[in-house]
Structure 1
Amino acid sequence: MDVQQLADLLAGVRAGTVPADEALARLRRLPYAEVAGARIDHHRSLRTGHPEAVYGPGKSPSQCARIVAEMLSGSSGPVLLTRASPAQTEASLAACPGGAVHRPADREPEAADETVNPVDLATVVWRAAGARPERVVVASAGTADGPVAAEAAAVLSAFGVSAEPVTDIGLAGLHRFLAEIDTLASADVVIVVAGMEGALATAVAGVVPAPVIAVPTSAGYGAALDGVTALLAMHASCAAGITVVGIDNGFGAAMAAMRILDLAAGSNSGTV
């Protein structure tokens, strides 16, 4: 249940069009609903302004389908299934048609049982919100960082924000970065996605006034340590004020951006 649904329910009780027993039955669902071994947090959007998302790994296709169906029935806002395998995507769309599937470009698995890297999995969005005016730039250091950047862009799209991609501007080719400074500096929020040594986040945060959310990725050779080097470098950045999320966490970066945008727009009315 989201803010508007709760307001409509209370208005219906006040007007006498919704019986008190019916309102009570619906309010009992607010804390959570138990479905397919999961406890669905139906009132998270009331507290934070954004709904819970469904994390695909570790769940069977049928579990994903049942959880998505429950979430769609319990609110009117966007519903997201993240890091979904082909089988999870297929089952969820069969049970709940109308979802938009977002996959990293040119990386769609060839078969439903193909083993894929977690960052190559799909983000599926049902009931995306209407378009918003804010500009979020998602800047990636290299094409290997593309899947994580794509996840961030897909999550932003669920909430009506069209991410502007700026790709392959890693600092090994400084001229490529310098060519995009005007684009970066005009954004409301910049999400920086980088592996290797993660230096791009410091460079961006040193030239833009907007909040910078840094996402270390697992791309890189031996001493990159599957993203740990980039993670530590971003935390140790000499550019003040960078926000750093976990390795390969495009979802977390997008949700951090949404909290910033909602606060700036004065639309964090979901919090009670």
Structure 2
Amino acid sequence: MEEKELKQVLEAVGNGSLSVGRALDIMKQLPLSDLGYAQVDTHRCLRTGVPEVIYAEGKTVEQIVGIGLRLIQCHDNIMATRVRPEVFTEIRKAIPDAVFYPTARIIVMHPRPVAAVGNIAVVCAGTSDIPVAEEAAVTAEILGNRVTRIFDVGVAGIHRLLAARKDLFRANVAVVAAGMEGALPSVVGGMVPYPVIAVPTSVGYGASFGGIAALLGMLNTCAAGVSVVNIDNGFGAGFQAGLINRLATAAASGAPD
């Protein structure tokens, strides 16, 4: 049920045409749509401001399409993450307006323009970290945030990061992705006056242990403003950065909470 329909239920209670008990029965059924293989949360946008996002890895094309078709009945800009190109080809047959961001491995179904606010810096240490950084950047952009990309500025050539400091200082929050020893978020965290969200990537030689070395390095950072998401979780970092950016933008404009 969409927000409009929910308002109709509340208005009916208000004018006396629907009892409180009957309205309660209806509203108990509102938050989900049971597809058999998925309990689709159609009211997540009403609660949090963002529709449910489909994690595509491990799901069949039919399941992704079914969930997507249900969600686009209620909302625009439905995201599916971790999508392979061949899966997108099949999905587009059922949802022709779907758009694919191949580097980020994200699909957007029923895409609509969203005004971008604030500024998020998405930074990565090396070119091999770009897919994770792009997952964060595309996620943030779809959710209505302005993003500045600062790629391939790892600590092995620290002058590259220093050359981008003007772009860094314009942001309200940074997402910093790095593999190997995962040092870059600590360096950025020591430079900027806002939160840094560190993303360890699975990039690196054997002793990086698929990103565990970077994860532990980031968890042990001495930069106090750094928080850490899971290995390769660009989506989670982009989502969190978007929340921080919108709060910062609202505060700067004097808008109410």
**TM-score computed with the length of structure 1 as normaliser:** 0.82
Map Cα deviations across residues 12-59 of structure 1 (whole Å, 9 max, x no partner).
Answer: 64898xx969x8897465221112501111122232222211011111
The partner residue of 1:240 within 224, 232, 235 is 224
Give 1:92 deviation, angstroms.
2.4
Alpha-carbon distance between aligned partners in 2 of 1:59 and 1:247, rounded to the nearest angstrom? 21
Match of 1:90 in 2: 89
- Is contact 1:64–1:88 with CA below 8 Å preserved after alignment? no
Matches within 5 A, 1:56-135: 56-73=56-73, 75-104=74-103, 122-126=105-109, 127-128=111-112, 130-135=114-119
Q: Which residue number corresponds to residue 45 of structure 1?
A: 45
Aligned residue pairs: how many? 249
Question: Alpha-carbon deviation of 1:6?
Answer: 5.7
For structure 1, list consecutive stretches of 5 or more residues without a partner in the other structure.
Answer: 105-120
Partners of 1:59 and 1:240 lie apart in 2 by 38
SS at match of 2:149: strand
Equivalent residues in 2 for 1:11-26, closer than 5 Å:
13=12
Q: Alignment partner of 1:84: what SS?
A: coil
**Secondary structure, aligned partner of 2:42:** coil
User: Is the 1:129–1:159 contact (alpha carbons within 8 Å) kept by the matching residues of 2?
Assistant: no
Unaligned runs of 5+ in 2: none
C-alpha contact 1:128 1:160 (8 A) present in aligned 2: no
Distance 1:245 1:69, change over 3 A: same
Percent identical across equivalent pairs?
39
Task: Report how far residue 85 of structure 1 moved.
Answer: 1.9
Q: Which amino acid in structure 2 is aligned with residue 85 of structure 1?
A: R
- Counterpart-to-counterpart distance in 2, 1:95 and 1:34: 20
Within 5 A, what are the aligned runs for 1:193-204?
Answer: 193-204=177-188
> Does the C-alpha gap of structure 1 residues 226 and 209 become closer, same or farther in structure 2, counting only changes over 3 Å?
same
CA distance, structure 1, for counterparts of residue 208 and residue 133 of structure 2: 19
What is the Cα deviation at residue 94 of structure 1?
A: 1.9
Q: Identify if the C-alpha distance between structure 1 residues 224 and 268 changes in structure 2 by more than 3 Å, giving closer, same or farther.
A: farther
Contact 1:156 1:163 survives alignment (8 Å): yes
Seen in structure 2, the aligned counterparts of structure 1 residues 262 and 8 have a Cα distance that, compared at 3 Å, is: farther
Runs of at least 4 residues off by over 6 Å: 23-26, 266-269
